[in-house]
Amino acid sequence: MKEEEQVGKDRPTVAVYLCRCDGEISQHVDLEEVAERISLLPDVRVAGVHDTLCSDDGRKFMKENRGKDNSDRVIIGACSPEILDSPLTHDLIEVGVNKYLVNQVDLREQCAWVHSDKERATSKAAALTRGAIQKALKQEPLEDMIFPVIGAALIVGAREPGQAAAKRIASSGFKAYIVDDANAAVDYDVSQGTTIAGPAEGTHPPSLSDSRLEEDVTLFLRSAIETMEGGVGKWTVRVRTPEGMKCLDVGTIIMTVQPLSRASDEKKEPATAAPTDYTRRILHMLHVGRGEDMTIRRLTKRHLPDLNRGIFVLESSMGLEGAVPAIEDAISAADVSIAIMRKGTMSIPRIIARVEEYRCRGCGKCAEVCEYDAVSLVERDGGIRVAHIDASRCEGCGLCRVACCNGSMALLGYTITQLLANMMGIAEEMSV
């Protein structure tokens, strides 16, 4: 029997969808040629091209084609996965594709925007797509991890955005704790829960003096967060208050601390804003993903809650240019937080490290390099020490795998076998 005839019987099949990105990709990459090359591979059942996969029409196109070809693996060639991976993946879940069998190839930032030679950019795009196909064929379906969520929220920052988030959460029947280390520059009227200075021009912060809300909102002013332990859905927060140490158990966290303003200098350069040291310290305890410049990875409204693990950082609190209004941002975060707490559980992607205990010698190098405190050493029968992964804290960064000298660490979704298949696919296409 020919190899092509085996497809769909005892082998996985792949559907490939390429996006022109309104010309951003197609003016530099010949996507029709890429689709033609890729469609010749025996495991590819369909290779389609669309103007904008992220549009309603594009998403409908992809879902309808998936219903026709019934492939169990999908490759999307579009912009950065940081932008579109989550919403497109969830569309495919609705039509029966396992999310861990969906791979997105960056043809815009890695091909179209960095190459002036269209022929070479097209060859590179075909190679990256073929590599993703070969990797997908080695992948196995996985399921998300499910964590219970405590029905209480921590809001860091007691200015208007924090008050807005607290009121929204309390009015939905959940407990809200507001913690602020109010310094000499800002003071608060504890009895009313609003700033003495009052709201900024054009804003209308909610009052927390409503008797019902007072029961569900607890203010800790002139207080500081000392430690934050736990993980997804269950954080234990120790707060140093004027009355002593308090311990709070919360399921979601909203950062509303406002940035430090940097006044313009004598050269008339515009004023800027940056995260406060207090914000940086809390983000470090939460292990929130951030770049070298300490800027939080920006999540757009298209991204879904499984990307932030119940931790919300207001764009305004990071001093990001073009941030949405702080109060609007806080209410949006509160609404998602409420939805998570109402559901009572949170689904988190299973892209985490896994320990092959029979290879582990308990040296502890993996625990030393882990920035998320997700790796520890535990004793097994006979007093043998092996590495253990806390799934609620692991971010799947892969540092432990790099540090392991015995090859006992694997990263689900990115095993050595899968990565080698990816590289071999790229090499094969480039040699054509």
Give residues with Cβ within 8 angstroms of 407, minimum separation 6: 356, 359
Q: Give the pair of three-digit tokens for residue 133.
A: 């196909």
User: Strands 188-189 and 194-195: what pairing?
Assistant: antiparallel
CA distance 315 to 296: 8
In order of 28, 113, 278, 288, the CA distances from 394 in angstroms are 38, 33, 24, 12
In order of 314, 316, 340, 364, 410, the CA distances from 311 in angstroms are 10, 15, 11, 29, 27
What is the predicted pLDDT for the residue at 307? 52
CA distance 93 to 78: 18
CATH topology of domain 3-141: Rossmann fold (3.40.50)
What is the predicted pLDDT for the residue at 214? 57
Q: Are 209 and 249 within 8 A, CB to CB?
A: no
DSSP assignment of 65-117: HHHHH--SEEEEEES-HHHHHHHHHHHHHHTT--GGGEEEEE-IIIIITT-S-
pLDDT per residue, tens digit, the chain (432 aa), is: 334 444 445 688 999 999 999 999 999 999 999 999 999 999 999 899 999 998 989 988 888 887 677 788 999 999 888 765 567 888 888 888 898 999 999 999 999 999 999 999 999 999 999 999 999 999 999 888 899 999 999 999 888 888 889 999 999 999 999 998 864 334 444 344 433 333 333 333 445 554 445 578 888 888 889 999 888 899 999 999 988 999 999 999 998 865 544 444 444 444 444 556 777 778 778 776 554 444 444 443 444 444 567 888 875 554 544 445 778 888 888 998 999 999 999 888 888 899 998 899 999 999 999 988 889 999 988 888 999 999 888 888 889 999 998 889 988 888 889 999 999 999 988 776
What is the predicted pLDDT for the residue at 221? 84
Nearest Cα neighbor of 160 from 213, 186, 198 is 198
What architecture (CATH level 2) is domain 148-347? Answer: 3-Layer(bba) Sandwich (3.50)
CA distance 69 to 273: 51
What is the predicted pLDDT for the residue at 83? 65
pTM: 0.72
- Say if 148-347 and 353-412 have the same CATH topology: no
What is the predicted pLDDT for the residue at 314? 75
Give residues with Cβ within 8 angstroms of 313, minimum separation 6: 255, 283, 288, 296
The residues that bridge with 247 in the sheet, in sequence order, are: 238
CATH code of the domain made up of 353-412: 3.30.70.3270
**Domain boundaries in the chain?**
3-141, 148-347, 353-412
Interhelix angle 326-343/160-171, nearest 10 degrees: 30
DSSP assignment of 197-257: T-PPTT--PPPS--HHHHHHEEEETT-EEEEEEEETTEEEEEEEETTEEEEEEESEEEE-P
Give residues with Cβ within 8 angstroms of 123, minimum separation 6: 429, 430
User: Strands 385-389 and 375-379: what pairing?
Assistant: antiparallel
